[in-house]
Amino acid sequence: GGVASSLGKGLTASSLGRLLKHRGYRVTMQKLDPYINIDPGTMNPFEHGEVFVTDDGGETDLDLGHYERFIDENLSRNSNATTGSIYQSVLAAERRGDYLGKTVQVIPHITDEIKRRIERVARNDVDVVITEVGGTVGDIEILPFLEAIRQFRNMVGRDNVCYIHVTLVPFIGPAGEQKTKPTQHSVTELRSRGIQPDVIVCRSEEPLSDDLKRKVSAMCDVEERAVVNAADANNIYELPLILHDEGLDDFVCDVLRLDGTIDLTYWQQFVAKVEAATTPVRIGLIGKYIQLPDAYLSVVESLKHAGFHHGADVEIEWIQSENVEGLLAAGQLSHLDGVVIPGGFGHRGVEGKIAAARYAREEQVPCLGICLGLQAMSIDYARNVVGLADANSTEFDPATPYPVIDLMLDQRGIEDKGGTMRLGAYYAVLASGSQIAEAYGEPVVSERHRHRYEFNEQYRGQLEEHGLWCSGTSPDNRLVEFIELPGHPFWVATQAHPEFKSRPDRPHPLFRELIAAALERRAATDGTDEPVADASVPSEPSLHS
């Protein structure tokens, strides 16, 4: 990447992955992040956006979510490496004495470890590895990564590496002229590190003229057809088609000496379906981190995928959880066709999530609870249906008389904040005849987790006697994985994070059923209620790096 971050490198890489898959190649992807944290697991969502969780429990960069959604492959923790994790390996080797008394240095020890991280995902069942380097070429932290990928070409052979540089061509000045100078500068910077890009992907608001492409080609010394323009798209899933029209996959395959043809019919039909999804449906997302919608990236994408399936355009209304009680008192949530209560950590805003759960339950509003959402819905049920006043999670009230959500015994007393959660894929068994079993269409499912607290099995009997159904549990029946409310159109929650497994052309069953119920509610109420005018709320997640 050059010029600026958040240019859409991740989406460009993902789109190339999709195109190579349509050419019949087996593709995997990875992200190298130059920051120092060992992984993004301990980072504030406001800093970094969502933490994407892989099946094997890796807490990874949200770009891995784009990768999985575009190339339709499950990735592992190996698909994300940070400077911190690379130093961690090198320092552990140093302590073991692996370097036999040598001075340990950035070159070769850190760069060798970076190359190892790339090789590690290049398994036998993969034809192409797409490696995205985070940040931009001018960053101090990126230098070892640039050096490592420079060496990599020499190591594996010239025809086995293709360097793609993503840059910005901004509109500047009163005349609104497109400027290639930032691109020229970042290519110069890249060359000073010894890397000549094979392809330059120019991001721009409006399409680039052929003249401008010729200029980039001449100034940056890449073939004219290697200057690829990614102008802003209507939706992110159109990007593979745009990049194909620009010749990206053709050129990359030439560089890598890969042959074959491409059949894009499937993706074209899918994009047509996306464009035809116009029936409005309004979903309230009750979140704590809504100032940075990237914090909910996979939830947002999952809602959209479900919309595509139903021909619906899901409008997300971002509702600050702390404001829910006030909005409810003013009758200002009645226009919502459905509600999502997503995951989160810490006390702030939890009462709002519990209030939203109650409102949805009492007013028959379709509601999907995710992780903390399941916990909030269980607390609502304990307090307001069973009558256990001040029931709570011990995360928010350690002295609650009714800890309906609590740490498991074997989790108590752990101080280390890294990697101590229940992370990654776990199986759940679904009760036959339940809404969720119907939705999934199978009795055993696997979902990814990221949480510390659990539904307290001591309260399960009491809540079930009062009508809640713990309809999905761990195979040993100890952990509650899903709840639902018989008789309600859709008041369903899971302790897992289903949003990590939704695919654009294969929506996750729970999101699919949420939107189905929301559409039904809208049809019944005619969708006539007025929306709340909410000032503080951003529009859409950015197309993060």
Give the catalytic positions in this structure. Answer: 371, 497, 499
Indicate the DSSP class of residue 140.
Answer: S
Q: Does the CA dihedral 373-379-380-385 come out positive or negative?
A: positive
From the CB of 342, what's the least distance to ligand GLN, in Å? 7
256: phi then psi, degrees, rounded to nearest 5: -90, 5
Task: Spell out a b/e string for 443-453, using b for 16 or more CB atoms within 10 Å of the CB, else e.
Answer: eebebbbbbeb
Q: Closer to ligand GLN by CB, 202 or 404: give it.
A: 404
Q: Closer to ligand GLN by CB, 230 or 355: give it.
A: 355
452 binds ligand GLN (CB under 6 A): yes
240 binds ligand GLN (CB under 6 A): no
320 neighbors 350 (Cβ within 8 angstroms): no
Q: Closer to ligand GLN by CB, 61 or 198: give it.
A: 61
Q: Which stretch binds ligand GLN (CB under 6 A): 10-18, 274-282, 342-350, 426-434?
A: 342-350
At 123 the three-state DSSP class reads: coil
In the set 135, 284, 338, 343, which binds ligand GLN (CB under 6 A)? 343
Interface of this chain with ligand GLN, residues 33 to 52, rule: CB under 6 A: none
In the set 67, 270, 345, 440, which binds ligand GLN (CB under 6 A)? 345
For 538, half-sphere exposure in the C-beta direction (CA atoms, 13 angstrom radius) is 12
Q: Which stretch binds ligand GLN (CB under 6 A): 80-88, 95-103, 172-180, 445-453?
A: 445-453
289 binds ligand GLN (CB under 6 A): no
Q: Closer to ligand GLN by CB, 203 or 449: give it.
A: 449
431 neighbors 437 (Cβ within 8 angstroms): yes
Interface of this chain with ligand GLN, residues 127 to 186, rule: CB under 6 A: none
Size of the site for ligand GLN (CB under 6 A): 10
Q: Which stretch binds ligand GLN (CB under 6 A): 60-68, 290-298, 311-319, 337-345?
A: 337-345
428 binds ligand GLN (CB under 6 A): no
Q: Residue 96: left (phi > 0), alpha (psi -120 to 50), or beta? A: alpha
482 binds ligand GLN (CB under 6 A): no
Interface of this chain with ligand GLN, residues 502 to 541, rule: CB under 6 A: none
- Nearest CA-CA partner of 341 in 378, 382, 396: 378
Q: Closer to ligand GLN by CB, 1 or 373: give it.
A: 373
From the CB of 351, what's the least distance to ligand GLN, in Å? 14
236 binds ligand GLN (CB under 6 A): no
Q: How far is CA 55 from the centre of its chain?
A: 13
Q: Closer to ligand GLN by CB, 66 or 450: give it.
A: 450
From the CB of 45, what's the least distance to ligand GLN, in Å? 10
Q: What is the DSSP string of 41-76?
A: GGS-HHHH-PPEE-TT--EE-THHHHHHHHH-----
Residue with nearest beta carbon to ligand GLN? 343
Q: Which stretch binds ligand GLN (CB under 6 A): 12-20, 216-224, 451-459, 484-492?
A: 451-459
In the set 45, 49, 287, 344, which binds ligand GLN (CB under 6 A)? 344
In the set 109, 213, 451, 521, which binds ligand GLN (CB under 6 A)? 451
Cis peptide bond upstream of 108, omega within 30: yes
Pairing of strands 80-82, 27-33: parallel
Q: What angle do CA 405, 371, 54 make, to 5 degrees?
A: 130
From the CB of 405, what's the least distance to ligand GLN, in Å? 7
Site map for ligand GLN, 368-407, x if CB under 6 A? ---xx----------------------x------------
> Tokens 């499912």 belong to which residue?
445
271: phi then psi, degrees, rounded to nearest 5: -65, -35
Task: State the DSSP H helix or E strand holding residue 17, giving kind and residue range, or none if neither.
Answer: helix 9-22
Q: Which stretch binds ligand GLN (CB under 6 A): 86-94, 341-349, 384-392, 514-522?
A: 341-349
Site map for ligand GLN, 196-235, x if CB under 6 A? ----------------------------------------
Q: Closer to ligand GLN by CB, 296 or 318: give it.
A: 296
C-beta neighbour count of 478 within 10 angstroms: 11
Q: How far is CA 159 from the centre of its chain?
A: 32
C-beta neighbour count of 340 within 10 angstroms: 28
Q: Closer to ligand GLN by CB, 372 or 510: give it.
A: 372
From the CB of 480, what's the least distance to ligand GLN, in Å? 12
503 neighbors 482 (Cβ within 8 angstroms): no
At 37 the three-state DSSP class reads: coil
Query: What separation in angstroms does the CA of 364 have from each of 312, 338, 357, 358?
Result: 21, 9, 11, 10
Q: How far apart are CA 487 and CA 79, in angstroms?
A: 43
From the CB of 41, what's the least distance to ligand GLN, in Å? 11
From the CB of 387, what's the least distance to ligand GLN, in Å? 24
Catalog residues that contact ligand GLN under the rule CB under 6 A.
343-345, 371-372, 395, 450-453
